[in-house]
Amino acid sequence: MAVVAVLVFGPHLRGDIGVPPDAQPRTVVETRDLRFETNDEGHIAVFDAVSTDRIYLLEGDKWGFLRGMVRAFAHERKVAGDGSDKPYRLSLFSDGRLTLTDLSTGRDFVLNAFGPTNIAQFTRFLKSQEGKAGEATQ
């Protein structure tokens, strides 16, 4: 009988009935602050904002989603009159959520909404993913 009571009333006592999954507590597993620079050839260099090391050079056409995100963030900063050089924060959460936050404007994008291929474009920049999948950092 006690087991039934816990199963029936437990969620109510915890207070998570009717709470959307987005409101459930999650913890940050990993973060990395990034800077993006576009060179004269149109390639995007990705830098670790803390160490200032270049961690990736994005060449070619396969980076359309990432290019679009970087341009959108830069445009938003320009419209806001914000010329700051604050980095972007890539965050991986315990529930698998991956976000990119503009530390200048506070704008936050949940990258999971854009599908696995686009998530992978950003996941490679996490320190835990460096050198995986046979791709060397440049």
Domain ranges (residues) in the chain: 26-129
> Model confidence over 83-124: pLDDT tens digits?
778 999 999 999 999 999 999 888 888 999 999 988 988 999
In the predicted structure, residue 56 carries a pLDDT above the cut 80: yes
Q: If you average pLDDT over every residue of the chain, what do you get?
A: 80
CB-based contacts of 57, cutoff 8 Å, min separation 6? 43, 44, 45, 46, 138
Task: Quote the CA–CA distance of 91 and 84 in Å, as a whole number.
Answer: 21
pTM over 0.85: no
